[in-house]
Every structure is written in C-alpha cells, then in structure tokens.
Chains A and B, each alone.
Chain A
Amino acid sequence: MPSAVTIESMTKLFRVPFRKERVTAVRDLSLEVEAGHVYGLIGPNGSGKSTTMKVILGLINPTHGRTTIFGRDSLKVDSRMSVGFLPENPYFYKFLTGAETLRFFGKLCGLSKQRINERTEELLSFVGLEDARNRRLGGYSKGMLQRIGLAQALVQEPQLVILDEPTAGVDPSGSRRIRDLILDLKNRGMTVILASHLLEQVQEVCDRIAIMYQGDLVREGPIEELISIENQTEIILEDASPEVLARIETMVAEDAKAKLIRRGNPRTTLERIFLSETSGEEADDKS
C-alpha cells in the first residue's frame, strides 16, 4: 500500500522583492504519512506548516525535493482528485448558499449531476448544516463556515484531507464538533493531515505528529511515544479507600528504586466543564 503522502528532502525558498537574498520557509523536510492515519503538523507561526501543506497541494512549487500523494507527483493536477483541502479562515463565495457551494465544488471535481445531488445531501447531513442549506454563506457563523469548508473538502470523496487550522476562531462547542468529524473521517479509513495550534486537540485526534520550527522538522513520531514519560507509570483508581491508598504508598516506600511522584485527584478539562454548562450535556468524565 503506498503512503498517503511522501515528502522527500523538500526545501522551499521565497524571493524577497527587490533583494537578492531568499527566505527559507522549509528546509530539507522529509516525512511520510501512512494511509488511514491522522497526522498532526504543529509549530509556531512561520514555522513552515502552511508552506508544507501548499507544496503537498501543488499550490506552490518546492525549490528542491519532491512530494507525492498516494504515489503520484503532487504537482500533477490529477493527484488532487484524491485530496480535499480546508484552508485557514476560509470565506468561500459569500453569495452562494451552502448547497450551491457544494454543487460548485462537485462540478469542479467532474462529478455527474446525480452524484453531485447525492453528495450535497450526504455532506450537509454529515456536517449538520441541513437547515442552513439555502442560506448564503455571508450569513454563516465562523463554525458553520468551517463545517461547510470541511464538506467541500470531502465532496469528491477524497482519500486524503488536509485541514489548516480547522478550529481557528471557532467556539469550544464548534471546535469539538469539528474534532468529532475528524475522528469520524479516521474511522472511515481516510487519511487526515491536520495543522493546528490547539495542541490538546492535536493530541486527542492524531496518531503521529511532526513539530516544525523555523522551517526545520525538529521532532516526529507516534504521539503516544512522543508524549509518554518512559520511566513513570500512571494508575488511576476509582473509589479507593484511604486504607488501600496507604497500603500502595507503603509498598512503594518499601521498594528501593520506585518513588511516588504525585498523588491527588485527576483534573477534568476546561472544555468539558464549558460544554457541560453551555449545552446541558452531562459531564461525562467525573474523575
């Protein structure tokens, strides 16, 4: 099975107008995204994430190196049949309605009229915008725009979706909806490349991540491997009596090497409290 994306020694330099020198946006980047994975690209602003995504999409040419999508050169237009893209803060055509937007992008992908109608219905339902189908995008909220953006990215049923800051400027509830959609895509076997500053969300949904800084890839690997502290172990108990806890502490104290670092109640997240208070949803994690 070919990798969803391969980037081989990719460097991108940008010209500075009226000057000889060039700015390095990405330096000698090599990475591989396996099919079916959710891959996170993280890094501060200006680290080269968006440039990397644009190179993958063929929107800009790399200065050196090569990029492929499912084995095809990403500079070839036909490689884009298998890619969907949601740019950061998309606006789309404000004069089109949600349904018209999906039909327009369906036509660009060469779908038949019948398939376009089917996909429009499916996707409006998938992103929860059936009720807003005939409203112009000019009247959509930020979260709705991101969702219609995700829907257009999926219109031709691509096997790879690239999402650039899909939750930027979206409230926690909308952000969570988008996160759920990403997990849904993963469950369908799709490959997702996600760039986000919401590290908690990246941690929740990604299988593997790359950390970029000033155009360089500084860390890369499976998320569990990157975030685990190898010489520490976590045991979470429910309804443990003080006696049980005391026995465990005694056992640890008797061991020559083991050391108790911390004891206390795990915390829930601010996101869960916010959602519980604003949507009437039961806080599902009481621990």
Chain B
Amino acid sequence: MSDAEPKTGTPSAPQVPELQQMPLFSPARAWAIARNTFTQMVRMKVFYFVLIFALFIIGAIFIFGRISLDHELRQIKDVSIGSMRLFAGLFAIVGTALLIPRDVEDRTLYTILSKPVPRFEYLLGKLLGMILLIGVSLIIMTAFFFAILYLRQVGLMEEQIAEAIERRGNITPEIRESIEADIRANGVSIHLLGAVLAVFLQGSITAAIALLVSTIASSTLFTVIVSTAILFIGHVQQTAREFYFEGAELNIGLERFLSAIVSILFPDYQIFNIYDGVISGEPVTTGLMGKLLGFAVAYVAVYLFAAYLFFAKKEL
C-alpha cells in the first residue's frame, strides 16, 4: 500500500457473488464465539479470583483447624463448596452481564452480526463461553480444594494415630484402621464431585438468566441487580411456594399451573441443594445427578430461547 497516490490500473470487472446456501446452524461459528468469550474473560484476568478462593481455603484451615480438630475436614469442605458457589454465581452474573452491553457499546456486535451469524448462534456462543469459564474455574478450584483436603486428611491421620499411640502406648492394626477409616469418610471422595457438578449446573442456569436479562436491560448494573434478585428468589421460592399455595384455598389445577409458572420464571435452586448431604459424607447417586442435569438443561434451554425471542427483535 502506498502513502502517495491512489493505486490505479485496469479496473477489474464488477464482482458478483455466486448463490450459496448457508446452513441454518453452525456449531463451528457458535464455538468460535464461545472461545472468544472465554478468551475475553481470561484476558480480563478473572482467574485472579481463583487466588482469592485459595486464600479462603487456607484461611479456613488456619481458623477451623484451631477451633475444632474433629471437624476440620468438614469445615474445609463447607468453606470450599460455599466459596465455589459464591464464585460461580459471581462469574455467572457479573461476567454475563458485561458481555452484550459491552459488545453494543463498542459496536463489536455490529461487526459480528453483519457477518453471516444468526442471532441465536451469537447468544448461544456467549452463553457457552461463560459456561466454559465457570467449568474451567471450578476444575481449578476443585483441584486446589482436593489437594488441600487430601493433605489435611493425611496430616490428620498421622496426628491422630500419633496421639493414640501417645495415649495408649501402642495401638493395634484394627484401631489404626478405624482411625484412618473415620478420617477417610470425611476426606476426599468421588461424591464431592457431585456437589461440584451441582455448583456448575447452578452457575450455568444463573448465566442463562443473566443473558436473558441483559437482552432486555439497557445497562450492566440493571442486569446484575435483577439477576442477583432472581438468584435470591430461586433459593427461597420453594419455601415461599409451599407457604402460599398450601395456605390458599386454590384448586389443585390452578395451584399446579401457578406453581409451574413460578418455577419457570424463577429457577428452583433448592433442587440443587445437595451440598449438606455431600459434606456430611452422603453418597450421590447417578440417578440424582441425571435428574439435576435434566433440570439444568431444561432451565438453560428455556432461558436461552426466551433471550433469543427478545434479542431477535432488538433494534441495534
């Protein structure tokens, strides 16, 4: 390219495109948007939050280890899963709330939608990117959580065996086995992954809600506030539903209808509340996980479709 005069030369004949049919849906395009969304979040340094998570767990060991040796492992699990829920919720709401308003503000949305990208694919890509981010964050947090839990589990076994030897002079293999089994029951277990998966599914639903709100809202702040309110309602809706519908004199059909409407508008997060059981060492069945997965897919599909209905008509 020259800085001087415009390029001249023999002009070519006018270009006219050949007629091509485009597939209605392209997973590759949606995946390109998802990967780009993930990269955007990573380069916004959201993974620094994982460091804060690490500090939470280390803090929990420091505080609870001194208060109650017996319940130390339980407290680590409690704090870790609680922190994961908090961070997954934060990523889902704040991260998703930023996506569409920022694309509109920077006019990036114009350049994307002026390419052969259907609006549904754009929304799906954005949501998949956020879900990917929540998933990767949870994998990193879980790895750290399991590493810390395992180290404390081994440490506690050694401490308690040493304590028993000091108290009794010597211990039989059966006693040693019993101490180890007690501690192992509260330590690292495959069932903890069930709780992590429940956090992930809940985070994915929250991201879908934030996406829906951001297609209607005109500001990031509004999306954050409304999505947080829905998150809160989702946690208490089961209790509220029971209270109102059981007390009111409604016939069964109407009660079910209203109950279904409320359940769709506000997700019932209590369904996913398997955390206390898992922390106490209860097993998680495949059937339960399948049920949670089914609920989550249904909720995400409904919210994504609703988001599309609003976004398809949006004047950019």
Q: Which residues of A contact B (CB under 8 A)?
A: 1-2, 4, 14, 34-37, 54, 57-61, 70, 72, 77-78, 80-93, 95-96, 104-105, 107-110, 126-128, 149, 152-153, 156, 158-159, 162, 173, 176-177, 179-181, 183-184, 186-191, 205, 275, 279, 281, 284
Does B15 lie within 8 Å of A36, measured CB to CB? yes
- Closest A residue to B218 by beta carbon equals A17
Does B115 lie within 8 Å of A108, measured CB to CB? yes
Q: Which of B16, B43, B115 has the most CB of A within 10 A?
A: B115
With A1-B14, A34-B14 as contacts: A81 and B40 at CB distance below 8 Å: no
CB < 8 Å neighbour of A95 from B9, B10, B32, B44: B44
A88 CA / B111 CA spacing, docked (Å): 11
A80 CA / B4 CA spacing, docked (Å): 33
A176 CA / B110 CA spacing, docked (Å): 25
Q: How many residues does chain B have at the interface if contact means C-beta atoms less than 8 Å apart?
A: 45
Does B29 lie within 8 Å of A95, measured CB to CB? no
Does B22 lie within 8 Å of A284, measured CB to CB? no
A81 CA / B9 CA spacing, docked (Å): 28
Does B39 lie within 8 Å of A96, measured CB to CB? yes
Whether a CB of chain A sits under 8 angstroms from the CB of B155 is no
Does A187 lie within 8 Å of B12, measured CB to CB? yes
Complex A-B, nearest 10 residue pairs according to Cβ-Cβ distance, in ascending order = A36-B14, A189-B12, A107-B32, A35-B14, A78-B22, A85-B114, A82-B17, A95-B43, A183-B6, A91-B106
With A189-B11, A189-B15, A191-B15 as contacts: A176 and B107 at CB distance below 8 Å: no
Whether a CB of chain A sits under 8 angstroms from the CB of B181 is no
A37 CA / B13 CA spacing, docked (Å): 11
Does B9 lie within 8 Å of A88, measured CB to CB? no
Does A176 lie within 8 Å of B14, measured CB to CB? no
Whether a CB of chain A sits under 8 angstroms from the CB of B3 is yes
CB distance from A284 to the nearest CB of B (A): 7
CB distance from A138 to the nearest CB of B (A): 10
Which chain B positions have C-beta within 8 A of A2? 16
Which chain A positions have C-beta within 8 A of B65? none
A79 CA / B87 CA spacing, docked (Å): 42
Q: Which residues of B contact A (CB under 8 A)?
A: 1-17, 19-22, 26, 28-29, 32-33, 36, 39-40, 43-44, 106-108, 110-118, 315-316
Does B110 lie within 8 Å of A85, measured CB to CB? yes
Does A191 lie within 8 Å of B118, measured CB to CB? no
Q: Which of B17, B20, B113 has the most CB of A within 10 A?
A: B17
CB distance from A26 to the nearest CB of B (A): 13
Which chain A positions have C-beta within 8 A of B110? 54, 57, 59, 85, 87, 90
CB < 8 Å neighbour of A187 from B7, B20, B36, B43: B7
- Closest B residue to A76 by beta carbon equals B22
29 A–B contact pairs at CB < 8 A?
A1-B14, A59-B113, A59-B316, A60-B315, A70-B16, A77-B117, A80-B114, A82-B17, A83-B114, A86-B111, A87-B107, A90-B106, A90-B108, A90-B110, A91-B108, A95-B40, A104-B32, A108-B29, A108-B117, A109-B116, A128-B1, A159-B17, A173-B3, A180-B3, A180-B7, A183-B6, A189-B12, A191-B15, A284-B4
Does B28 lie within 8 Å of A190, measured CB to CB? no
Does B108 lie within 8 Å of A93, measured CB to CB? yes
Does A110 lie within 8 Å of B40, measured CB to CB? no
A84 CA / B50 CA spacing, docked (Å): 40
Which chain A positions have C-beta within 8 A of B108? 90-93
Given contacts A4-B14, A57-B113, A78-B21, could you give 20 more A-B pairs where the C-beta distance is less than 8 Å? Answer: A54-B110, A60-B315, A70-B16, A78-B22, A80-B116, A84-B114, A87-B111, A89-B107, A91-B106, A93-B40, A96-B36, A104-B36, A110-B116, A127-B1, A128-B1, A173-B3, A180-B1, A183-B8, A184-B6, A188-B12
Does A110 lie within 8 Å of B26, measured CB to CB? yes
Which chain B positions have C-beta within 8 A of A184? 1, 6-7
A35 CA / B15 CA spacing, docked (Å): 7
CB distance from A275 to the nearest CB of B (A): 8
CB < 8 Å neighbour of B29 from A1, A59, A110, A159: A110
Which chain B positions have C-beta within 8 A of A93? 36, 40, 106, 108
Does A81 lie within 8 Å of B20, measured CB to CB? yes
CB distance from A149 to the nearest CB of B (A): 7
A79 CA / B97 CA spacing, docked (Å): 31
CB distance from B301 to the nearest CB of A (A): 22
A77 CA / B117 CA spacing, docked (Å): 7
Which chain A positions have C-beta within 8 A of B115? 80, 105, 108-109, 156
Which chain B positions have C-beta within 8 A of A87? 107, 110-111
Which chain A positions have C-beta within 8 A of B106? 90-93
With A1-B14, A95-B44 as contacts: A108 and B7 at CB distance below 8 Å: no
A86 CA / B113 CA spacing, docked (Å): 12
Does B116 lie within 8 Å of A14, measured CB to CB? no
